[in-house]
């Protein structure tokens, strides 16, 4: 099953490592987009192991760390 992501127009998301923490910073549109992605992954028809991979080449700001969000049971 392909996961269809809904992006809000004008979204900005950056992921950085700060000491032992991961900082995800986003504008309003970015936060709404991330919330939509989490809700999509939570749906019953989405199988365990399904995941979303975000990086600077497809969705994150330049020099962001990659993030993978995976569904488990």
pLDDT digits 0-9 by tens, 20-67: 999 999 999 999 999 999 999 999 999 999 999 999 999 999 999 999
Rg (CA), the chain: 13
Query: What length does the chain have?
Result: 73
Q: Does 6 fall in a domain?
A: no
For residue 1, being part of any structural domain is answered with: no
Residues 6+ away with beta carbon under 8 Å from 18: none
CB 7 within 8 A of CB 59: yes
Residue at 7 is within a domain: no
Instruction: Count structural domains, the chain.
Output: 1
Asked if residue 8 belongs to a domain, the reply is: no
What are residue 28's phi and psi, to 5 degrees? -55, -45
Tokens 């987009």: give the residue: 33
**What is the extent of the structural domain holding 63?**
13-70
Q: Is residue 32 part of a domain?
A: yes
Is the residue at 3 inside a domain? no
- Has this prediction a pTM greater than 0.75? yes
């Amino acid at each position: 099953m392909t996961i269809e992501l809904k992006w809000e127009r004008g979204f900005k998301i950056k992921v950085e490592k700060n000491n032992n923490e991961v900082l995800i910073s986003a504008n309003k549109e970015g936060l709404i987009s991330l919330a939509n992605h989490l809700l999509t992954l939570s749906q019953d028809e989405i199988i365990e192991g399904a995941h979303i991979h975000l990086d600077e080449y497809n969705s994150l700001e330049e020099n962001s760390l990659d993030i993978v969000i995976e569904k488990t049971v």
